[in-house]
Amino acid sequence: MALQEAEEDRQVARRTVRGIIAAATKRQAAASESLANRAQKIAAVAAAHAAAVDSNSCFPSEAIDAARAARLLSAAVPVEFGGEGAKLSEIVDVCYRLGRSCASTAMIYAMHQTKVACVVRHGVASAWHQRMLRRLCNEQILLASSTTEGKAGGDVRNSAAPIERRDQRIALKRQATVISYGEAADGIVTTARRAADAASSDQVLVVFLKDDYTLTKLSGWDAFGMRGTCGEGFALDALGSAEQILPASYDKIHAHTMLPVAHLVWSGVWAGIAAAAVERARAFVRKAHGGSGAMPPGATHLTRASASLRTLRNLINASLQRFEAAASDPAALEAIDFQTAMAMHKVSASELAVATVMSAMQAAGIAGYRNDSEFSIGRQLRDILSSPIMISNDRIMANVAAATLLGSTPTSLRD
């Protein structure tokens, strides 16, 4: 019996060592290939499953598993915690590459990266969050986001449910109207009111890992587009330790990271969707041109689609440069002009992306409108129409209206 137990122990030890070696090998393999190359391979996996993800409204597990295997989830985590320290512009490029293949995969990746950025930029001084980042790298943990609550829609800067403190333990019960991939995620990063007696705008950001919470489904997700994001509604019931609250207050996290990073990564996804639509429209026009030798009548719409895609890409690159230049300067990040620019980046990028996909659809005509055509642009159109409502453009413009009054008109083009 003792011999048998010893043999079993040896087998468990051998399996564990093999697991560690396999993980280390994967890490080395991932490190030897550029982030862009790995993203391109994941985009191919996402493309192969995109139609099924859309028609079945299911989580893109093949693409996200492939992203895990290629260590894409930890790309932006600093090297000292086991990540690659990728810059935001590199992450946005991954979003663009994935967005060309499967909008849901890309948006899931973008939302996860927004949460990673909040923890990396505001949690590295906390031992709990350092440990969490190491785990994220080792286990390729996928983080979801909960900001939308009850009937408050996209009012991110106000929370209803408070953190309840019981000595060093905390509890949160929240009616989360939409949590994309809530069931598939390994953790949820959520806003909350600081305490029961705090104002709704006095918020904190908390990281809960899967063992810390239960989710009770309140609503399903049968949406027009972005169907694989699986944004079901849940009652979130979480228990954790006080250390899980990020040390910085949410107003700082929102201004410095959450708003600019979310808007930039989302716009990368939308540009990818728009690029896929332009690609299909171009293939259609090429085929029509090749057949008759004459430019088809819809070709002018392709010209317009290509031009607005170029404008969108330029806008994203300019905003990324602006963010990366200000990223470690709190005063620059909090400046009214910077905040207005980052808020309006989302409005402009979503409008350009919708216009690009619409022009592409017009260029392809009925071939783009049909679902059963190789030039179909239906999925891209449905997906891109989420962009103006994912935090409503009207709400954003109302929020920056006062700041617009304060500004002055530049005298020089270069100001």
Ligand X SMILES: Cc1cc2nc3c(=O)[nH]c(=O)nc-3n(C[C@H](O)[C@H](O)[C@H](O)COP(=O)(O)OP(=O)(O)OC[C@H]3O[C@@H](n4cnc5c(N)ncnc54)[C@H](O)[C@@H]3O)c2cc1C
In whole angstroms, how far apart are CA 185 and each of 181, 216, 256, 273?
6, 14, 25, 24
Candidate residues 74, 159, 229, 257; the one interacting with ligand X per rule CB under 6 A: 229
340, two tokens:
């207005």
42/391 with CB nearer ligand X: 391
Residue 153, interface with ligand X (CB under 6 A)? yes
Q: Tell me 243's DSSP state.
A: G
Residue 392, interface with ligand X (CB under 6 A)? yes
Chain centroid to Cα 410, Å, comes to 34
**How far is residue 161's CA from residue 156's CA, in Å, rounded to a whole number?**
13
Q: How near is the Cβ of 238 to ligand X at its closest, in Å?
A: 15
Residue 386, interface with ligand X (CB under 6 A)? yes
* 169-179 and 164-166 strand pairing: antiparallel
**How far is residue 8's CA from residue 166's CA, in Å, rounded to a whole number?**
43
Nearest to 286 by CA among 269, 309, 306, 312: 306
Residue 247, interface with ligand X (CB under 6 A)? no
Candidate residues 60, 83, 123, 231; the one interacting with ligand X per rule CB under 6 A: 231
Q: How near is the Cβ of 7 to ligand X at its closest, in Å?
A: 48
Residue 225 CB partners (closer than 8 Å, separation 6+):
103, 379, 381, 382, 383, 384, 385, 386
* 143-146 and 164-166 strand pairing: unpaired
Residue 203, interface with ligand X (CB under 6 A)? no
Number of residues lying near ligand X (CB under 6 A): 22
- Which residue stretch of 18-26, 58-66, 144-152, 199-207 sits at the interface with ligand X (rule: CB under 6 A)? 144-152
Q: How near is the Cβ of 98 to ligand X at its closest, in Å?
A: 15
117/390 with CB nearer ligand X: 390
* 143-146 and 187-193 strand pairing: parallel
**How far is residue 159's CA from residue 75's CA, in Å, rounded to a whole number?**
30
Residue 131, interface with ligand X (CB under 6 A)? no
**How far is residue 395's CA from residue 381's CA, in Å, rounded to a whole number?**
23
> Which of positions 207-226 make contact with ligand X (CB under 6 A)?
226
71/346 with CB nearer ligand X: 346
Candidate residues 101, 105, 140, 145; the one interacting with ligand X per rule CB under 6 A: 145
Residue 389, interface with ligand X (CB under 6 A)? yes
Residue 109, judged by CB atoms within 10 A of its CB (0-12, 13-18, 19+), counts as buried
Asked if 49 contacts 63 with a C-beta cutoff of 8 angstroms, the reply is: yes
183/329 with CB nearer ligand X: 183
> Which of positions 166-185 make contact with ligand X (CB under 6 A)?
178-180
180/340 with CB nearer ligand X: 180
Residue 10, judged by CB atoms within 10 A of its CB (0-12, 13-18, 19+), counts as exposed
- Which residue stretch of 28-36, 124-132, 297-305, 393-401 sits at the interface with ligand X (rule: CB under 6 A)? 393-401
Candidate residues 371, 395, 402, 404; the one interacting with ligand X per rule CB under 6 A: 395
Candidate residues 63, 137, 305, 390; the one interacting with ligand X per rule CB under 6 A: 390
Q: How near is the Cβ of 343 to ligand X at its closest, in Å?
A: 12
Write the DSSP assignment of 270-326 as a string of letters: HHHHHHHHHHHHHHHHHHHHHHHSS--TTHHHHHHHHHHHHHHHHHHHHHHHHHHHH
Q: How near is the Cβ of 414 to ligand X at its closest, in Å?
A: 33
| End-to-end alpha carbon distance in the chain | 81
Asked if 272 contacts 106 with a C-beta cutoff of 8 angstroms, the reply is: yes
Q: How near is the Cβ of 224 to ligand X at its closest, in Å?
A: 9
Over the window 77 to 116, marking each residue x when it contacts ligand X by CB under 6 A and - when it does not, the resulting string is: ----------------------------------x-----
Q: How near is the Cβ of 120 to ligand X at its closest, in Å?
A: 19
- Which residue stretch of 17-25, 40-48, 148-156, 195-203 sits at the interface with ligand X (rule: CB under 6 A)? 148-156
- Which residue stretch of 244-252, 286-294, 370-378, 394-402 sits at the interface with ligand X (rule: CB under 6 A)? 394-402
Asked if 186 contacts 253 with a C-beta cutoff of 8 angstroms, the reply is: no
- Provide the binding-site residues for ligand X, judged by CB under 6 A: 111, 144-148, 153-154, 178-180, 226, 229, 231, 386, 389-392, 394-395, 398
